[in-house]
């Protein structure tokens, strides 16, 4: 029970959604009282986390609070309670996305207190905590002793992007050749259609953001099909991190198209059960995907006689 309580405390959002499920199951109507004790027992948690969950629902105008009476349902099943729950989740996700995108853009530092985030985003403590927990699920932040949270490395520098690529070169081909790879044919078909649609756009019109989306979807799909559960888990988490933090890719149109063609070739091989070929194509694709930037500059910065630069000093 103690473990259950601890878990529940760690995710007030889940609890809030559980409250909505119970309200829906019991057919509660607007104006009906939600007794703390009864809901605490129904959810298997103490009254403190239940109050936190009620507070989230109050902030989102799903419940109201009356002095010395407690919480009452404001939104009933006919008023869109299900949608409210959905919105609640999206809102939490959206704050998590904002926090992450601000970290990736270096607007906030890599160690944050909940209070600082509450001040920055003008949201309640519980809302911020829930957003942090969403990020923690993907290993993007970890809680430090005390009240601070630390961001883990994200794909925001040339060095981290290079490290990501090296990591993927080790794992992605292995994810394909590991015994038990199962291609989801229906999803493969959908991805193929999306990539072909991109290839049919006019030159220069494939946007970097939409390419990134389809790229992480494709690589995430390969991971999902892997027969090795550890490779699958590690790669899925990594692609989520890529999708969330590696947004500003600026790849020439030629390479974007070449990359999509390479995805299609990999799918072809997988559909023909040629896993070794698919793994080799994946290696080739990843090597070609190494982002190239001019690494030298003339006008005296480093004469050719002294050889090329590998990276700037920061990398």
3-state secondary structure of 241: helix
CB of 72 to other proteins, least distance (A): 35
Contact letters (x/-) for other proteins, 213-252, by CB under 8 A? ----------------------------------xx-xxx
Binding residue for other proteins, selected from 142, 209, 229, 233, defined by CB under 8 A: 209
CB of 255 to other proteins, least distance (A): 4
Inter-CA distances, 119 with 31, 74, 128, Å:
33, 28, 10
CB of 155 to other proteins, least distance (A): 11
194's tokens: 């999306």
Residue 125 or 292 with smaller CB distance to other proteins = 292
Phi-psi region of 307 (alpha: psi -120 to 50; beta: other; left: phi over 0): left
Q: How far is residue 76's CA from residue 200's CA, in Å, rounded to a whole number?
A: 47
Q: How far is residue 175's CA from residue 112's CA, in Å, rounded to a whole number?
A: 35
93 binds other proteins (CB under 8 A): no
Task: Report CA torsion sign: 204, 282, 141, 127.
Answer: positive
1 binds other proteins (CB under 8 A): no
Residue with tokens 């991971």: 223
Binding residue for other proteins, selected from 29, 82, 142, 208, defined by CB under 8 A: 208
Residue 149 or 181 with smaller CB distance to other proteins = 149
210 binds other proteins (CB under 8 A): yes
233's tokens: 């888990």
Q: What is the CA radius of gyration of the chain?
A: 24
Contacts to other proteins from residues 137-166, by CB under 8 A: 156-158
**Contact residues for other proteins (CB under 8 A)?**
98, 101-102, 105-109, 156-158, 203-211, 247-248, 250-256, 258, 290, 292-315
């Amino acid at each position: 029970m103690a473990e259950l309580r601890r878990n529940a405390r760690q995710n007030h959002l889940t609890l809030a959604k559980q409250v909505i499920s119970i309200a829906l199951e019991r057919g509660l109507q607007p104006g009906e009282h939600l007794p703390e004790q009864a809901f605490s027992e129904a959810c298997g948690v103490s009254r403190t986390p239940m109050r936190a969950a009620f507070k989230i629902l109050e902030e989102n105008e799903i419940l109201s609070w009356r002095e010395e009476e407690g919480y009452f349902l404001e939104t009933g099943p006919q008023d869109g309670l299900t949608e409210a729950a959905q919105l609640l989740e999206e809102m939490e996700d959206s704050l998590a996305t904002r926090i992450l995108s601000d970290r990736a853009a270096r607007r906030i530092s890599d160690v944050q207190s909940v209070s600082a985030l509450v001040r920055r985003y003008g949201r309640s403590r519980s809302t911020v905590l829930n957003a942090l927990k969403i990020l923690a699920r993907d290993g993007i932040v970890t809680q430090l002793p005390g009240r601070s949270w630390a961001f883990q490395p994200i794909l925001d520098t040339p060095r981290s992007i290079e490290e990501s690529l090296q990591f993927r070169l080790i794992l992605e081909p292995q994810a394909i050749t590991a015994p038990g790879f199962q291609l989801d044919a229906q999803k493969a078909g959908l991805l193929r259609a999306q990539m072909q649609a991109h290839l049919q756009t006019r030159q220069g019109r494939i946007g970097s953001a939409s390419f990134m989306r389809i790229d992480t979807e494709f690589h995430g799909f390969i991971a999902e099909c892997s027969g090795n559960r550890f490779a699958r888990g590690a790669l899925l988490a990594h692609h989520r991190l890529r999708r969330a933090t590696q947004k500003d890719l600026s790849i020439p149109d030629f390479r974007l198209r070449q990359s999509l063609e390479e995805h299609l070739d990999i799918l072809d091989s997988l559909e023909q059960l040629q896993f070794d070929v698919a793994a080799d194509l994946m290696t080739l694709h990843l090597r070609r995907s190494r982002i190239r930037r001019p690494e030298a500059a003339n006008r005296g910065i480093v004469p050719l006689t002294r050889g090329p630069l590998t990276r700037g000093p920061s990398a």
